[in-house]
Chains A and B, each alone.
Chain A
């Protein structure tokens, strides 16, 4: 079965936030833009990802919902 786009965006959310977090620190160390000024970017990215998840049509049928909780969902 294929994962829906919504699932993909949801799964990608963590890694993308992690990358943004890393970039903000890099911006602080190399670009002299302090983290305390740039942290709201994390909220914006998170919000955008949630928004994207809602906008993408969910094709999933109930039968296809065989996601395992691997990856340790909360």
Chain B
């Protein structure tokens, strides 16, 4: 007779019962139970095996060579790892309870919707409104009123409706005056259970107030038609601002799909951010963007200076009557007022059309295409380590040109008016130098890439954008 232990089947039954309970009775704290009581499974298992062995020995049946087989030890090791992992996540860390609880609520819970009863409070002497909402969206609209109105809806994820009701009671939306600050709070931090509360807040405020929004994980924050300043601090949020009279400040928005600001009379200051897209349109004050953005930056119509400081690029433009489009691989701009300064340490092609005042440009990798359009010209100093340089100068402009490439072909539209030198050694290289009239110094150069100086025919830039083919150089550029 082959002896089989009862431990295997019993263990299987226990696991089956546990999973069955977790699907039939999701409200029971089964994960907590498992995390707390799993060592008893080891003890029970060992005791059962011991008992079996003693019975076999008493009956005189042959004993197995070892009480637990190798496969069983493997199972024990897994049980220990999973069990202690569960325990530490569940009980040992301050946020452990939240993670496991929240996951359970995520998996087994339902979403319950609540309407937030509208609250109206007179502003009194308050000059500022502070809105605190950790999870959910915030929409603030300025209006001709003397009251702050807060309403909206709440979505609560919970295992059962009485949990959701409890969570709703624990997180009332408060509107209160505190000195000169009007505070609108969603009180999500008062929640004691494992429910997840998302509050979508709609607030109407008197137009003249300043607005401050504090969030954590917000889907979106929208502020419209406010004459005062706007300050936003959130870890995660898409931000849309429109028609703001004061200064705008966004700090530490570490995750955002879109930051959009339009029709801002004051300054725009975006600090320490990380995200995808930025759109700025019609800004009256200075604009500072400090952070890293992986998507598109669309900037239009800035009356004052723009400064962008990123991990791989730095830009300063005195005024932007036109527009700037920038992404990880490209910088395109039309109609800028300098002084302009751009440095980029990652591969990026730069195309600037119609600019005045001085331009200073320094690239590691990437092509440069410059077309100042306006006369008289200003000082230009542009250099790339690796890429083609194309300079298109107005037909009647006066300048003093020093253009050079170390490895690449040279092409010159001006003919004998400028002195073009092509070196005949194996990797090419050459320069174009000379003065036409009395003009500013223009220095352009590349270490590796073709150099083209064109006479502007007035056609749009895209039309003559065919770059000279350069079989010798191109593969080397792409390698980097």
Interface of B is mostly: helix
B53 lies within 8 A of chain A by Cβ: yes
Interface range for B: 35 or more
Q: Are B66 and A25 in contact (CB under 8 A)?
A: no
Q: Are B42 and A13 in contact (CB under 8 A)?
A: no
Q: Are A73 and B65 in contact (CB under 8 A)?
A: yes
A1, A13, A24: the one within 8 Å of B66 (CB): A13
Q: Are A26 and B53 in contact (CB under 8 A)?
A: no
**A25 in contact with B65 given A19-B42, A19-B50 (CB within 8 Å):** no
B83 lies within 8 A of chain A by Cβ: yes
Count of chain A residues with a beta carbon within 8 Å of a chain B beta carbon: 33
Residues of B within 8 A of A (CB): 2-3, 5, 36, 38-50, 53-54, 56-57, 60-73, 76, 80, 83-84, 87
Given A14-B72, A15-B49, A70-B2, 18 other A-B residues pairs in contact with their CB atoms under 8 A: A7-B57, A8-B54, A11-B65, A12-B53, A15-B45, A15-B50, A16-B67, A17-B68, A22-B40, A22-B41, A22-B45, A66-B62, A67-B64, A67-B65, A69-B64, A70-B3, A71-B68, A72-B70
**A3 in contact with B68 given A16-B46, A22-B39 (CB within 8 Å):** no
Nearest 8 CB-CB pairs, A to B? A71-B64, A14-B68, A22-B42, A72-B69, A18-B46, A14-B67, A25-B39, A22-B43
Across-interface contacts of B71 in A (CB, < 8 A):
72
Across-interface contacts of B67 in A (CB, < 8 A):
10-16, 71
Most buried by A among B44, B63, B66, B83: B63
Across-interface contacts of B5 in A (CB, < 8 A):
71
Instruction: For residue A61, give the distance in angstroms from its CB to the closest CB of chain B.
Output: 14
Across-interface contacts of A1 in B (CB, < 8 A):
60, 62
Across-interface contacts of A13 in B (CB, < 8 A):
66-67
Q: Are A70 and B40 in contact (CB under 8 A)?
A: no
Across-interface contacts of B84 in A (CB, < 8 A):
25, 35
Across-interface contacts of A22 in B (CB, < 8 A):
39-46
Looking across the interface, which residue of chain A has its beta carbon closest to that of B2?
A: A70
**A21 in contact with B87 given A12-B50, A14-B67 (CB within 8 Å):** no
Instruction: For residue A62, give the distance in angstroms from its CB to the closest CB of chain B.
Output: 15
